[in-house]
């Protein structure tokens, strides 16, 4: 099978960390070979780390279509929609608000946050 589009509903539910990472890396490979992937998920870590576009639904209606970066920076929308942004992104946003020159576009997970903090501090890795 070589579909143009692959649609998955909560594909990471019930997986351990290694299984989730393996599945998401496989999906990344499939996507880079030209297949569009649509993932329905409540896991905002998956959205932050892997999605190019985020579409938020409420009662079956689209209420926001944007990038994960823009979505998680829109604090008023986050509060209104009861979304729980990834903790790593919330932490990075707090660092930025307190004056650290964090590039939020680089934040995908704890490792990328650590790299960004080191970059801000002028530490070469």
**Annotation says 70 is catalytic:** no
Residue 63 backbone dihedrals phi, psi, to 5 degrees: -110, -15
Specify whether the CB–CB gap between 46 and 6 falls below 8 A: no
- CA 11 remoteness from chain centre: 15
- Bridge partners (DSSP) of residue 5 are 36
Q: Which residues are catalytic?
A: 10
């Amino acid at each position: 099978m070589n579909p143009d589009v692959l649609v998955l509903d909560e594909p990471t539910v019930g997986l351990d960390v290694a299984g989730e990472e393996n599945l998401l890396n496989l999906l990344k490979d499939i996507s880079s070979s030209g297949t569009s992937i649509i993932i329905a998920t409540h896991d905002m870590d998956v959205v932050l780390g892997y999605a190019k576009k985020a579409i938020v639904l409420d009662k079956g209606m689209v209420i926001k279509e944007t990038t994960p970066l823009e979505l998680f920076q829109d604090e008023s929308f986050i509060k209104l929609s009861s979304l729980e942004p990834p903790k790593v992104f919330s932490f990075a946003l707090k660092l930025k608000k307190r004056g650290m020159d964090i590039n939020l576009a680089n934040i995908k997970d704890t490792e990328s946050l650590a790299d960004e903090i080191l970059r801000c501090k002028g530490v070469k890795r």
